[in-house]
Structures are given as C-alpha cells and as structure tokens.
Chains A and B, each alone.
Chain A
Amino acid sequence: MELGLIAIGAGLAIGLAAIATAIVQAKIGAAGIGAIIEKPELLGRILILLVIPETLVILGFVIAVIILSTPR
C-alpha cells in the first residue's frame, strides 16, 4: 500500500510537471514558429525560449527520483 502511494506520488510529480511544461511549450512553440517565419535569424533565441519551461519537468523528475530513493 505504502509502496503504491509512493509510486503514485512520484508519477504525479513528473506527470503534472510534464503537462505544465507541455502547455507552456505549445504556446511558446506556436508563437516562435510565427516569429521564425518572419525573421529566420531569431531561431537561436526562440530555441532558448522554447526550452526554458523544461526546467519544470526536470524539477519534477528530480522530485520523483528523491521520492523513490528516500530510504524507508
């Protein structure tokens, strides 16, 4: 039971963070593509903007690893 709850907790930590990242990346990506079509030289900067929200999912992953690795 306890192990199951821990697994669900870890899953939620990474899953919810991934959903949040996806929502933000979708918006940045759509706007970014529009900007790149107008000004192709912006590719580098748009790429950076696009990967900024990935920190959320990385932090979610770290939390999940910590939850699963905590000694019981």
Chain B
Amino acid sequence: MILKMSKVSIIGPKKSLHEVMDTVYRAGVLHVESAPDLVKGTPFVDKVALTIEQKKELAELERLSSIARKTINILSPRFLMSAETTVKQTALSIEKAKATIEKAGNTVEGLNSDIRKLEQQLLLYRRYEKVLTALYPLIEIIPESAFMDYTGITLYKKEATLPLLEDALQGITYGRHELFKKDIDRETTACIVVYPKEFSQKIKAILHEENISEIVMPFDLSETPMIESVKIILQKTATLSNDIQEIERTLHKFACEEFYELSLSSRIIELEIEQIQVISELYGTKNTFFLYGWLPDMAIKSFMKTINEKFHNIVVLDVLPAMPEERENIPVILSNPGIIRPFEILTKFLALPQYGTFDPTPLLAIFFPVFFGLILGDIGYGIIAFMASLWVIWRWRKNEVVRGLGSIFMVSTFAAIIFGFIFGEFFGNLGELIGIHPVIDRSKSLIPFLIFTILIGGLHISIGLVIGIIVAINSRDTKNAIARSLKLLFVITLYGMAAIFYGLLPQSMLHIMVISVLVIVGALIFVEKWLAPFEAMKLVVNILSYSRIMGFGAASIFLASIANRLSAMPRNIFIGIIIGIFFHLINLALGLYAPAIQTLRLNYVEFFDKFFYPGGREYKPWGK
C-alpha cells in the first residue's frame, strides 16, 4: 500500500527559524521540499541567507566529510575482509564525530602513504633485482681498489655485441681490463667490466656510442659504490615486502576496531551538512521564513501538535492541497503488514511506484512464492533451502535487507515443500522410495502441466489488467482504461476459444468468439492506433511465457533423476553417495537461482506491465 501524503507549509518569524528547524529535524517526518515557483517569484521573497558562522561550519563539515569518505574508501576493503570486528555502542556527539574523523583521517592517510611509498620503492628495486642477483657473485670477487673502476652492462644475446665489445675494450685498455659475464635469461647476459680509472671516460663513451645499456643505480643510491648499492637493493627487496605487510596489518586492525565508529561519525557529519543545506534552500522575506514539505497523513496530527505546542501563535502550519501537476513529485512510502513487508525489497528492486498508483507488493507476496514453489516443487531441496533461509535470517538478523531476502526465501521454499508433496518429489524421483505418492506426477504429465501453467498465466495477466483498469480510472486516464478493458476481453475470448478446442464449450460458439476477437482488435486499433496488433500479439506471448514454469520445473526434476541414476551406477556405495551429493548440490543451486529469476521476470515483465507506473520519488524524511 502507498501511504497517503499531505503537503504542509510552515511560516514563521526568521528569529525563530533555528528553533523551528531543530524541532522539525527532531520530529524526523518531514520530507523537505523546495518552495513552489509561485512563492519564489513573489516580490520581496528571497533565499534565506546563511550566517557567517553557519557558512564556516558548513565548510568545515564538508572538509571532514571529504576526509571521512576518503578514509572509508581506504578502510572498507580491509574491513569487509575481516571476520572479527568491534562495534562500539557509544553515543556520538558532533564534536566526538569530528574528532574521530580527524584522528582516523590522519592515521589512515599516514599509513596509506607509507604503503604507497614502500610499494613504489619495491617496484623500482624489483626491476634491478633480476640483473643484480646475477651480477652479485661477480661483483663480490672484484677486489676493492682506489685505481680501478667497474661498470655493469646488459647485452642482448641475439645482437652478438659481446665479441665486438671485447675488441673495442682491447683497443682502449690494451688488455688491462677484465670482463665477467653471466646469463640472466635466454635473451640477456649481464656483464661487469673492470678497468683502470683512467679509461673510464673512453669506455663509457664507447658504450654510449654502441648503444649498450649501462646499469644505472636508483637515484637514492647514485652516490653509493656499486657493490654497496647491490647489497642494499637485494637486502631491501627482501625486507620491503615485510614492511608493507606490517603496515597492512596495522591498517587492517585499525579498520576492524574503528570502522563502525568512523562510518557513524561520517553519517552524523552528513546529517549536519544536510541540516545546514536545508536552511540554505529555504525562502523568506526580510523577517519571515517559509518551509514546505511532505509527510504521511498519519503523522500530521502529532507533527501539528508538536509545532503548535512549542510555537503557539508564533508559527503558522497549514496543510495544503496537492496540485495535479505535483502528483509525479509526491514522495512515496510503501507500508505493508509484517509478513508482506520483506517483499517490498523486490518491488523497490525494480522501481518505486508513482504516488497515486498501485503498490504491487501484496500480490508479489502471493505470486512469488507460488510460482517459485511450482517450479522447484521438491520436498528435499525445499527443506535444505528452508533451513538455509532460517540460518540467513538468524545470521544477518541486524541487516534489514539480507534478513528480508531470507524471509522471502523462507516463504518461497515452504511453498516448494508443499508443492513437493503434491508432485511427490523428494530429491527428484526418490519420493516413491520413501512412500510419498504424487497427487500430480508432473514428470509424466508434461502437457497437462503445460496447460495448467498457461491457465495460471491467463489468470495472473487478467488480475494485472483488472488492477490496471482500476488504476487508470482512478488517474482519470480514460484511454488506458478502455485499452486495458479491451485487452482483458481479448484474453477472456482467447480462453473461450481454447475451451471450445478442448470441448468444454459447444463448437457453435466458435463463430461468436472469432467475431469477438476481430471486434476487440478493431476497437484496440481505434484506441491504440498502429500499436494495437502488436499489443494483442504481446498478450499472447505474455501468456505463453508462463510455460517456463513447466519448462524449468521439468528441467529440475529430470536433472535430479539423472543425479540419482548416476549415483546408483558405481558399485561402491560411498562413491555413489558422493556422486549423488555432488550432482544434487549442483541441481539445488540451479533450482534456487532459476526459479527466483524466472519468477521475478514473470512478475516484472508479464504482470507489472499491465498496471505498474514506475518512477516514484522515495520519501526521505529530514531529521534524526
């Protein structure tokens, strides 16, 4: 059900603005709306300006909100990975929230920047690691000397530059050099050339001319002797990973301990920002302010009482009539009884219905479990899934959405158990073995089951069309009301023709039915122009689409039977049981996924299409 909403205006003196806003905020029921255009365009009416203190506070809060978002982004992957988390049950004041964000921001930013720096360093050193590991044994045997110099180089084997280089070195040093080489991989050789210092310039020039890559140490080690640099790099490559892991652990611990408090602080700051921003959106004259908003009818009385008691004769609260042009903008709040409420998740998953239209949640709460049960229809699978749903509800009892989804599956799997008894299915065809006899054996009566599902489809679509007609009449949408009535007649006539085909109605009525179909389609063309034939065809396809209930149901039972047959094949009973469990688990996973998706599709596409107006604005009350 969509709750009835009312628009209210609150007009009062500017000096009471903050007190009024605080009261409205604490009441937490008003969905604040911008002032109507008529008011905005009135002379002497302008936006309510924020004071300098408020502007400063807003800037500070926005800075903290930005820090909080950034910190939460860094912490959330670590927090999600952790099993142990600490929830601090403390009430947070705004000052505490600010301090928490500031502290967490500094700590996390510091640790994160340390990780980034170390990772960059590690990345740099890793580039050298391969070459230096190959060269290290060679460098170690080079004696320390004040008169000798050495250069590290890498050569591509296929370019065959080594003999040419040796000749060139011979020409420069007249044999007073030593060249050590070691293969790095199939393509590259690393070399160390040791020579007297006086040939340094000439050797470096020849290397440059021949385009031979000299090993240049990282910038931070450029002043360190090569042998020392190599030792440092190899040592640091090993320790840097440990350092990074150590900081990661600290960050992970911090995420486990502080994430909840940080998230809560961030929310408090966001609410504070909202509070100031709402004030900046208000309009008023020099001495008065105007506040507009929507709230549910049921909350008006207590809201009026609160305002009148606190601001008697100071503030005027009026309930305004909703203008027809405002209809699409009226916020929507769904309200359904306890057992149906979880199904609101499925409605919202598609979209919120527009205000003044129909909330399909109660019908979804009936048809979703029924269709799901019809497709799965197995006692064994149903019991396992039912137990799993109970566990999900218990495990995530504090998470409203997951708990809701668990409740939906609990009801749906219960329906699957009931249909399991009707179809006599227990892990496929094992029902017979334990004495469960089918009332209807769907594996042996596919065609009757197909006809049954198509009948259900016709009924479901007819219900959708009836609701669609009521919604169209309520919205004074005559064209749609007539078109939907004609479509309903078309569906009834089609079923009439099918009844004649199966001998349930006399053959003499066939002429009447054919003429009726032609008249209905003609009238539809008159109402919906060239789209009408497609709409009629779409209705037929919509109805046939319900045959998926039979299709997926049959697939489920055949797969279960195959699993049973495979498990009976091996001579060893334990291998047979393992095979059986494995294939039944696969079938169970498919058996839960496919019915859920197909049932949603039947409801969203075939059913909702007849009456649903998506695009409702969510009711977001301003306040605590």
Q: Tell whether A and B belong to one assembly.
A: yes
Chain B residues with CB under 8 Å of A62's CB are: 450, 544, 547, 550-551
Quick one: CB contact mask for B39-83 with A, threshold 8 Å, 1 for yes?
000000000000000000000000000000000000000000000
Chain A residues with CB under 8 Å of B554's CB are: 65
Are A69 and B349 in contact, with the CB atoms below 8 A? no
Are A48 and B605 in contact, with the CB atoms below 8 A? yes
CB of A47 closer than 8 Å to a CB of B: yes
Are B541 and A61 in contact, with the CB atoms below 8 A? no
* Given known contacts A44-B349, A45-B350, A54-B548, A69 and B601 CB-to-CB distance under 8 angstroms: no
Partner of B447, one of A47, A52, A54, A65: A65
Quick one: CB contact mask for A21-57 with B, threshold 8 Å, 1 for yes?
0000000000000000000000111011001101100
CB distance from B76 to the nearest CB of A (A): 15
Partner of A51, one of B447, B544, B597: B597
Quick one: CB contact mask for B381-396 with A, threshold 8 Å, 1 for yes?
0000000000000000
Q: How many residues of A contact B (CB 8 A)?
A: 16
CB distance from A40 to the nearest CB of B (A): 12
CB of B600 closer than 8 Å to a CB of A: yes
Chain B residues with CB under 8 Å of A48's CB are: 350, 600-601, 604-605
Interface residues on B, range: 20 to 34
Are A58 and B350 in contact, with the CB atoms below 8 A? no
Are B351 and A44 in contact, with the CB atoms below 8 A? yes
> Majority SS of interface residues in chain B?
helix
Chain A residues with CB under 8 Å of B366's CB are: none
CA distance A44 to B605 in the complex (A): 11
CA distance A39 to B551 in the complex (A): 33
Are B450 and A65 in contact, with the CB atoms below 8 A? yes
CB of B162 closer than 8 Å to a CB of A: no
Chain B residues with CB under 8 Å of A20's CB are: none
Chain A residues with CB under 8 Å of B604's CB are: 44, 48
CA distance A55 to B549 in the complex (A): 12
CA distance A51 to B349 in the complex (A): 15
Are A65 and B350 in contact, with the CB atoms below 8 A? no
CB of B598 closer than 8 Å to a CB of A: yes
CB distance from A63 to the nearest CB of B (A): 10
* Given known contacts A51-B597, A51-B598, A61-B551, A44 and B450 CB-to-CB distance under 8 angstroms: no
Are B597 and A47 in contact, with the CB atoms below 8 A? yes
Using a CB-CB cutoff of 8 Å, which residues 537-560 of chain B contact chain A? 541, 544-545, 547-548, 550-551, 554
Chain B residues with CB under 8 Å of A58's CB are: 544-545, 547-548, 551
CB of A66 closer than 8 Å to a CB of B: yes
Using a CB-CB cutoff of 8 Å, which residues 342-366 of chain B contact chain A? 349-351
CB of B446 closer than 8 Å to a CB of A: yes
CB distance from A51 to the nearest CB of B (A): 4
Are A51 and B601 in contact, with the CB atoms below 8 A? yes
Chain B residues with CB under 8 Å of A44's CB are: 349-351, 604
Partner of B545, one of A55, A65, A66: A55
Are B351 and A52 in contact, with the CB atoms below 8 A? no
CA distance A61 to B545 in the complex (A): 11
Q: Which residue of B lies closest to A48 (CB)?
A: B604
Are A59 and B597 in contact, with the CB atoms below 8 A? no
Q: Which residue of A lies closest to B597 (CB)?
A: A51
CA distance A69 to B601 in the complex (A): 28
Chain A residues with CB under 8 Å of B545's CB are: 55, 58
Query: Can you list 7 A-B pairs, Cβ within 8 angstroms, ordered by A?
Result: A43-B349, A54-B598, A55-B541, A62-B544, A65-B554, A66-B447, A69-B447
Taking A44-B349, A55-B548, A61-B547 as given, write out 7 further A-B residue pairs in contact, using a Cβ cutoff of 8 Å, ordered by the A residue number: A47-B597, A55-B545, A58-B548, A62-B450, A62-B550, A62-B551, A65-B446
B residues contacting A by CB (< 8 A) are 349-351, 446-447, 450, 541, 544-545, 547-548, 550-551, 554, 597-598, 600-601, 604-605
4 A-B pairs with the lowest CB-CB distances in the bound complex, closest first: A44-B349, A51-B601, A58-B548, A44-B350
